[in-house]
């Protein structure tokens, strides 16, 4: 096996059909379009309904990425699904493998909440860099609407459902220029989708837990502060590792959590507004999907072009955060 470089050569995305705008939201909880837009920038979000599942939207996104990359499902060696909301807790990547017919691909799920896509990108790159695999499909997908507390106005207005995918391929030169990943479990309480069990006695001395996951809880102000402090730091570190200066960045592609967070981070890094990719007005915070969804839209709109340098950063529950600097395309 020979060491190899990594190129990100295709993207795809998919979102559920149903769109709930802020007006609709204000029928559910005491809120307003004015509050949501001024505090977050979000105007509407897509919600999975009916037969739409994580694997169905992820499979559509994956097909788009494979088509753009010009490879077939048979070519895939590995499928990584970054998600916190699998259809099956044992993992949903294999369901996507089956739907694609990617017979030779190894599959697994990876959970790092809203940082999942960046963590997945770095994980996938290691398999390619070591020469083990040639073609990897990385999907970021979440249906957080399954776990939102629809009576909690502090969180329910923020999230939406979606999927994005990219194909990574072995290449002569390495186009993943630098990265940095971080975790801090001491702040885990800030953002939770926690399992809660009732005790069930099987036999004397065998009280097992039986329960379910509880709706999302978040300390919004803490997470906001964390993002503003940690994300510029981690991007700086990744740029340093890439030996790239801020001016060389063509696009800042942040996890789409809140327009105020995007604006403040861009300002701290001295990156002009026209380089900041934002689509959260239409989709809200789609967790692991937000970066590949925004990437795919910008590529398909012709904004991101081959060889452009992208600084991408994810942050969220865990707490986890990370950044990756890469050149788009072959
Ligand atoms: O992907 C994971 C990453 N998550 C994030 O990045 C979230 C980071 N945090 C945020 O984006 C912001 O903290 C929020 C958008 C969640 C909240 O914005 P904020 O400016 O920090 O508002 P706040 O929590 O300080 O609340 C201000 C007021 C409160 O009322 P009082 O106590 O001042 O009377 C809230 O009860 O706004 C109230 N409020 C709302 N009002 C109308 C909270 N949510 C709503 C709402 N509609 N939906």
CATH number where 61 lies = 3.40.47.10
* Alpha-carbon gap, residue 76 to 167, rounded angstroms: 9
CA distances from 126 to 18, 170, 242, 269, 321 (A): 37, 11, 16, 28, 18
**Structural domain contains residue 31:** yes
**Structural domain contains residue 211:** no
Number of H helices, E strands in the chain: 10, 15
**Structural domain contains residue 198:** no
| Nearest atom in ligand 1 to 159's CA | 1
Residue 51 Cα to ligand 1 midpoint, Å, equals: 32
Residue 98 Cα to ligand 1 midpoint, Å, equals: 41
Distance separating the N- and C-terminal Cα atoms of the chain: 21
Q: Which domain holds residue 279?
A: 178-186+217-327
Residue 143 Cα to ligand 1 midpoint, Å, equals: 21
Quick one: 10 and 140 in the same domain? yes
107 touches ligand 1 (CB under 6 Å):
no
Domain end residue (candidates: 153, 174, 195): 174
The answer to whether the CB of 240 falls within 8 A of the CB of 178 is yes
Quick one: 30 and 125 in the same domain? yes
Partners of 19 in the beta sheet? 46
Quick one: 36 and 150 in the same domain? yes
289 touches ligand 1 (CB under 6 Å):
no
The answer to whether the CB of 42 falls within 8 A of the CB of 280 is yes
Which residue, judged by its Cα, is nearest atom 6 of ligand 1?
Answer: 257
**Structural domain contains residue 284:** yes
Quick one: 284 and 226 in the same domain? yes
Give tens-digit pLDDT for 216-233: 999 999 999 999 999 999
**Structural domain contains residue 212:** no
Q: What is the pLDDT of residue 277?
A: 98
**pLDDT band at residue 288 under the 50/70/90 scheme:** very high
257 touches ligand 1 (CB under 6 Å):
yes
* Alpha-carbon gap, residue 268 to 229, rounded angstroms: 10
Give tens-digit pLDDT for 69-92: 999 999 999 999 999 999 999 999
* Alpha-carbon gap, residue 155 to 21, rounded angstroms: 15
Quick one: 138 and 182 in the same domain? no
Quick one: 260 and 140 in the same domain? no
- Is residue 2 pLDDT above 90, yes or no? no
Quick one: 290 and 161 in the same domain? no
**pLDDT band at residue 268 under the 50/70/90 scheme:** very high
Q: Work out how many domains the chain is built from and give that number.
A: 2
Mean pLDDT of 16-26: 98
216 touches ligand 1 (CB under 6 Å):
no
220 touches ligand 1 (CB under 6 Å):
yes
Probe target for ligand 1 pocket from 34, 39, 43, 142, with the most ligand atoms within 8 Å of CB: 39
Q: What is the pLDDT of residue 1?
A: 60
Quick one: 10 and 118 in the same domain? yes
Give tens-digit pLDDT for 240-264: 999 999 999 999 999 999 999 999 9
| Nearest atom in ligand 1 to 157's CA | 48
Residue 230 Cα to ligand 1 midpoint, Å, equals: 20
């Amino acid at each position: 096996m020979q060491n190899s470089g990594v190129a990100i050569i295709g993207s795809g995305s998919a979102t559920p059909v149903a769109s709930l705008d802020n007006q609709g939201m204000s029928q559910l909880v005491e809120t307003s379009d004015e509050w949501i837009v001024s505090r977050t920038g979000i105007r509407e979000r897509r919600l999975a309904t009916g037969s739409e599942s994580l694997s169905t939207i992820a499979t559509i996104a994956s097909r788009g990425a494979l088509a753009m990359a010009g490879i077939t499902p048979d070519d895939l060696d590995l499928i990584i699904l970054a998600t916190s909301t699998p259809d099956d807790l044992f993992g949903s990547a294999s369901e996507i493998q089956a739907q694609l017919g990617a017979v030779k691909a190894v599959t697994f799920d990876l959970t790092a909440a809203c940082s999942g896509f960046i963590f997945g990108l770095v994980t996938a790159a290691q398999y390619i860099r070591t020469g083990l695999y040639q073609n990897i499909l990385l999907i970021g997908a979440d249906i957080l609407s399954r776990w939102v507390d629809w009576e909690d106005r502090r969180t329910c207005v923020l999230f939406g459902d979606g999927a994005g995918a990219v194909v990574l391929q072995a290449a002569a030169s390495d186009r993943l220029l630098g990265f940095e990943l971080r975790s801090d479990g001491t702040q885990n309480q800030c953002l939770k989708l926690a399992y809660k069990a009732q005790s069930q006695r099987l036999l004397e001395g065998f009280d097992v837990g039986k329960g379910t996951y509880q709706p999302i809880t978040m300390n919004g102000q803490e997470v906001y502060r964390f993002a503003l402090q940690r994300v510029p730091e981690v991007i700086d570190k990744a740029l340093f590792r890439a030996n790239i200066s801020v001016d060389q960045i063509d696009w800042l592609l942040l996890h789409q959590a809140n327009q105020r967070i995007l604006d403040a981070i861009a300002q701290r890094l001295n990156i002009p507004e026209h380089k900041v990719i934002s689509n959260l007005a239409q989709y809200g915070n789609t967790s692991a999907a937000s970066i590949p969804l925004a990437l795919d839209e910008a590529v398909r709109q012709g904004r991101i072009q081959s060889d452009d340098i992208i600084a991408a950063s994810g942050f969220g529950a865990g707490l986890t955060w990370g950044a990756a600097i890469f050149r788009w395309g072959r």
